[in-house]
Structure 1
Amino acid sequence: MDDDETGSAGAGAATGAGTGLGPHLSRSAVIGQVVPRTAVIAGGGALAIWQPAFTLGAYNVVFYDQLLTLWAVSTAVMLTALLLRERGPRRGWMYWACLALPSVWLVIAAVVPRHGGWPDKTLFFAGGILSIIGTPLLVWVLLHLLLFGESELSARERRAVIGVVVVVGALAYGLGQLNHVFLTCGDFDISGNSVPSGCRPGHASPLG
């Protein structure tokens, strides 16, 4: 009985393919493969960018622990990729540059003298750019290495992912600027963060 039903289902699928359902099923299968991949990459990029963007909006600075977390992850992946070349990035210098960016910033921060003026401002802007732009790029590289291997996104998929991450980053920065609208000074205090200037006085809200 089960074999007959299986055979009938197979015959129906074959008939459907012959009557034009085949392309529809194929298109659905392609969508099912593409949407999760782009969604995972976009979600990972958004997850990585929101905190430095919010911090920059609320405090006008990027916290050192966010930069060092980025450095630790990128260095671990870069060393692993060097040791296991078959799993490493094979598309050229861009992958390696993304992974090396945090280490380059750390070396520059250690070498450049801190006497105020343009060196400090340059390091500040470099750290901000590294966190806001380099973090999503690094997430992109990590997801390719760890989840998708050599599979590549199409130009349209790349534009969609970049657009989503940029929008989330801009919204997070705006939320940081407008933190007084939905957060209080108590929310920052109870979470262990410094209280930003311009925050709304009050006890921790349910969001805290």
Structure 2
Amino acid sequence: MNENTVVLDESNSTGSHVVLLIAIGLSGYIWDLSFNLGAFNSVFLGHYIAIWLFSLSVLFVSITAPGALVPGNKVIGYFLLTLPSLWLILRIIDDASIAGKTTDMVMHSVGVLAIGISLPYLVYLFFHFTCPEVLRLRGRLLVGLMTIVVVSGSLGFALGRNNHLIMTCENFVVSGQDTPANCVKTN
């Protein structure tokens, strides 16, 4: 870290504003992902596509733009940025009509692993480009932000898993989603 970089901690009011801004955005995204994972036992394709599009956009812009856009080691950065495309290639060559075979499970696992390996770097790049202040958070502010995100995700997953306690199948149909197996059917 540069000697002139201001660390954002509980003694700095700017840090609280950064935490609030990021917590609002991340909580909504994490809630949606976690609720659907709890309700449907699956991460929706749209979340994978969003990761792929982000990595592809950063990759193309960093290759074509003058100057260094991607922080750190370019080779490692470019490698991590291409991993979500590996997931998409594996999805394209996988025969979707033959689910459950060993090759299907291996390709799915390798693709999800590729996304999982690249995800921390992509999250870092997202904040590097959109709100670099979050990368300077320290102490209670960082712990607070991570706690908010983990609690939002845990609540989303728990309510998705137990959606029958708060929703009916009609709520899912009206929102344009499929109905989970455990939703409450109404007359």
The alignment's TM-score, normalised by the length of structure 1, stands at 0.65
1:153 aligns with 2:136: yes
Q: Is the 8 A contact 2:15 2:137 kept in 1?
A: no
Change beyond 3 A, Cα 1:181–1:38: same
Q: Could you tell me which residue of structure 2 aligns to residue 9 of structure 1?
A: none
- Corresponding residue number in structure 2 for 1:13: none
Task: Give unmatched runs, 5+ long, in structure 2.
Answer: 1-7
Q: Does residue 1:89 correspond to 2:58, yes or no? A: no
Shift of 1:196: 0.9
In 1, Cα distance between the equivalents of 2:110 and 2:34? 13
Q: What is the CA-CA distance between 1:130 and the residue it aligns to? A: 4.2
TM-superposed CA distance for 1:95, in Å, is: 5.5
Alignment correspondent of 1:39: 20
Higher RCO (C-alpha under 8 Å, 6+ residues apart): 2
**Alpha-carbon deviations, 1:31-62, whole Å to 9, x = none?**
22212223333333333322222111111112
Which of the two has higher C-alpha Rg? 1
Matched, 1:198 2:178: no
Task: Provide the rounded CA distance (Å) in 2 between the counterparts of 1:171 and 1:34.
Answer: 25
Give the letter for the 2:28 counterpart: L
Equivalent in the alignment of 2:54 = 73
Which residue is equivalent to 1:169? 153
Tell whether the 8 Å contact from 2:83 to 2:114 is kept in structure 1 after alignment.
no
Structure 1 unpaired stretches of 5+ = 1-26, 204-208
Matched letter for residue 54 of structure 2: V
Alignment of 1:14-53 (within 5 A): 31-53=12-34
Look up the equivalent residue of 2:89 and give its one-letter code.
Answer: V
TM value normalised by structure 2: 0.71
Name the CA distance, whole Å, in 1 between partners of 2:56 and 2:66. 15
Asked if structure 2 preserves the Cα contact closer than 8 Å seen for 1:105 and 1:127, the reply is yes
1:104 corresponds in structure 2 to 86
Let me know the Cα RMSD of the aligned residues: 3.6
- The amino acid that maps onto 1:58 is A
Asked whether the 8 Å contact 2:168–2:184 carries over to 1, the reply is yes
CA distance in 1, matches of 2:47, 2:10: 39
Task: Summarize the Cα distance change of 1:154–1:189 in structure 2 as closer, same or farther, 3 Å threshold.
Answer: closer
Cα displacement (A) at 1:70: 2.4
CA, structure 1 residues 142+174, in 2 after alignment: closer, same or farther (shift >3 Å)? Answer: same
Query: Distance in 2 between the 1:107 and 1:91 partners?
Result: 27
Cα offset, 1:126, TM superposition: 5.2
Count of matched residue pairs = 174
| Structure 1 partner of 2:3 | none
Amino acid in structure 1 at the alignment position of 2:39? A
